Amino acid sequence: MTSSEIRAFPTLAKGQNMALPDGVVRVDVVIGWTDSQTELDASALLLGDDGKVGGDADFVFYNQPQSPNESVRFLGTSATEDGTQARIAIDLSAVPNNVHTIVVAGSVGAETFGKLGKLSFLVVDEAGSTLAEFLTADATTESALVFGEVYRRDETWKIRAVGQGWASGLAGMATDFGVTIDDADTEPDEPPSDAAPVDKQPAQSPADTAPPPRPAVRKQGVRTAKRAVRKAKPVELTLAESDSWTPARLFSVIGVGNGEEQERRATSALLATMQTVRPFARAVCARIGAPVGVFEGYVEVPFERGESKVIPDAVLKVARGSRIWTGLLEVKTGNAKLRRDQLESYLDVARRKKYDVVVSLSNDIPAGPGELPVEVDRRKLTKVALRHLSWAEIAHEARMLLSHGGIDNELHTWILSEFLRYLDHPKSGATEFADMGKHWVAVRDSVTAGILRAGDQKALSVADTWTSLSRHLALRLTAELGATVKHVLPRRHRSDPAARTIAVAERLANEGVFEAVLQIPGAPADLVVTADVRTNKVSCRTTLDAPTEGTSTRRLSWLLKQLDAAPGDLQVEATYTEQGIEVCEHLATVRDNPKLLTGTRSAVIISFTLTQTFPMGNRRAGTAASFIASVTSATDTFHSAVVRHLREWTPPTNPQPDAETVGQL
């Protein structure tokens, strides 16, 4: 699916409704928020014509992730370039006849929705295309919120934007819809239904131990309390006699030869890790619409297709209760590209076998969420979904788990660390974003010559690749920080990929530059990356507000303390209250003579812009001299040396005037 083929979708106002398009039988409802530090949990309630659940099993959420007939499933949460999202999957064809409305809600525990700002409610089809969107920022003290409803009227399924909140939290909201809640402290913490079997211990005689006390048994109701997330320490090897000793690898890279062998090893390593480390499997499965359950993977399973056979790289299975979810996986490593004919053949097999999804996995990072790196015949997506994953997203999920916990087993922590160690090795083929595409050289030369036009199809192709690179930069920083870094786009460009691509191409043709804006949690301002093709320079900058108290000298001193380890060639630009006064010097010069920036006494500094310039690589791919490598290196360097040390100014509790101010009184 190309950018130009993605259709515009309606944005609903509160209380507004719309009918789902004919032929749509499966949808995902996605709740999104940008504050990655706050955990939001999605839930769904299946209501009858009386507006109540038929029973406690009709409440779908993290402790009860599917409805009785599995038509409604909670898929969990995952990080995105826009923040964080939680998904509810609905099979409209399987919803019981006595269910008239499916309410989709979210809850934030002890927090309130008023702290989260804008929230999004999206409904997407099997191909990942958005059907409708509802945005709200009206919530204040509510800790549970009904975002919307999927309901039927006269055999037609519709969507309604709601935006109604509860201050009583998830339990209070569920109770109002007829769910019986039992959060008694005496309830035993039962393992989830997909937990691994417990090893049996040798029998003990009555003399060895007294019989354990009988656990309290809940007779009715559901438990909304969440189990505590624990974090295991990684296994440490301490007996090496020298730092040159290399620990043995769980996933060996020895003997990796051609691309086919590379794909087989990477596929096997991924599936083996998912089968062993269940939180990792759930994180990956949430990205492709699979339910929470027991994961199994099988490599190179042959299928009949007419008189020939097709052999996908893997078959993915997830079991939850009586439901078996199945996906076919096509894997590419290195510079290998996905092929339309392969994916369409797998879609044919999946439709015939009544499987759920075909998943492509490669080093391609599409320009926007829900977009696919390869165009396929959309008629083949009527019964089977097509999803794409990048190796960068796989590595991202592993790093997030290791950074934030969710794994309480030391062995599993080591296995996941070894899998990341394998992906990081060049022979794995799970390379980072590394290729600007076949049109890069021609477009680069046209920019330099001043003959590039925004409507040139080559320019549009390279513009899409730049947006993909921008997403890659956000993923890299997310993995490093353990918090979601967002690639910031104007809202109209998030909902209209074609307009986004044209805007990037127009700026490239008119000004010769690309630009990406990265929003980093905890940073006082955005990081802006600019690549100037005409001057062969990459610049990174950030603009932060100066303190609102004290003289310019004191405000500059506040900044210099944070830049103690920054490079001397960093440009420091001061903007003053008096319009038109801006002064810029290198940091090394300012350190020696601060008055070069503070010499203007008629006004005070209101903001600082910090900029560092790097040489730009020209090559399409592959080496340290490539365009992508230079942009990536510049971003990493500027963030590490400058942005991560900056903090927003906060006024002191008991402010004291500085000596210069006292002298002026």
Q: Give the domain CATH number at 78.
A: 2.60.60.30
Q: Which of 121, 142, 176 is the last residue of a domain?
A: 176
How far is the C-alpha of 464 from the C-alpha of 493, rounded, in Å? 12
Which of 123-132, 190-199, 273-282, 328-337 shows the lowest per-residue confidence on average (mean pLDDT)?
190-199
**What is the per-residue pLDDT for 209?**
41
Q: Backbone phi, then psi, for 235, in 5-degree steps?
A: -70, 130
**What is the per-residue pLDDT for 660?**
47
Q: Are residues 419 and 457 in the same domain?
A: no
pLDDT in tens, 268-311: 999 999 999 999 998 898 888 888 788 999 999 999 887 888 99
How far is the C-alpha of 572 from the C-alpha of 316, rounded, in Å? 53
Q: Backbone phi, then psi, for 587, in 5-degree steps?
A: -60, -40
Q: Are residues 380 and 479 in the same domain?
A: no
**Rounded to whole angstroms, what are the CA distances from 583 to 55, 304, 542, 589, 610?**
68, 71, 16, 13, 12
188 part of a folded domain: no
Q: Which of 381, 403, 428 is the last residue of a domain?
A: 428
- Count CB-CB contacts under 10 A for residue 663: 8
Q: Are residues 419 and 454 in the same domain?
A: no
CATH number at 291 reads 3.40.1350
Number of C-alpha atoms within 13 angstroms, CB side, residue 563? 24
- Percent pLDDT > 70 in the chain is 84
**Which residue range is the domain that position 87 belongs to?**
10-176
Domain count, the chain: 3
HEC letters along 580-611: CCEEEEEHHHHHHCCHHHHCCCCCCEEEEEEE
310 part of a folded domain: yes
142 part of a folded domain: yes
Q: Which of 156, 176, 196 is the last residue of a domain?
A: 176
277 part of a folded domain: yes
Q: Are residues 415 and 553 in the same domain?
A: no
242 part of a folded domain: no
Neighbouring-strand partners of residue 153: 156
Q: Are residues 513 and 387 in the same domain?
A: no
How far is the C-alpha of 317 from the C-alpha of 333, rounded, in Å? 22
Q: Are residues 559 and 629 in the same domain?
A: yes
587 part of a folded domain: yes
Q: Which residue has the higher pLDDT, 107 or 419?
A: 419
Measured distance between the N- and C-terminal CA atoms of the chain, rounded to whole angstroms: 68
Q: Are residues 169 and 23 in the same domain?
A: yes
Q: Are residues 395 and 537 in the same domain?
A: no
Which of 109-113, 327-331, 419-423, 458-462 shows the lowest per-residue confidence on average (mean pLDDT)?
109-113
586 part of a folded domain: yes
Q: Are residues 348 and 416 in the same domain?
A: yes
How far is the C-alpha of 381 from the C-alpha of 358, rounded, in Å? 10
119 part of a folded domain: yes
- DSSP 8-state secondary structure symbol assigned to residue 621: B
Tokens at 294, concatenated = 């027991």
Beta carbons of 79 and 478 less than 8 angstroms apart: yes
Q: Are residues 163 and 293 in the same domain?
A: no
Tokens at 247, concatenated = 């620990």
How far is the C-alpha of 349 from the C-alpha of 364, rounded, in Å? 24
How far is the C-alpha of 499 from the C-alpha of 513, rounded, in Å? 17
Q: Are residues 156 and 263 in the same domain?
A: no
pLDDT-derived band at 584, boundaries 50, 70, 90: very high
Q: Are residues 467 and 607 in the same domain?
A: yes
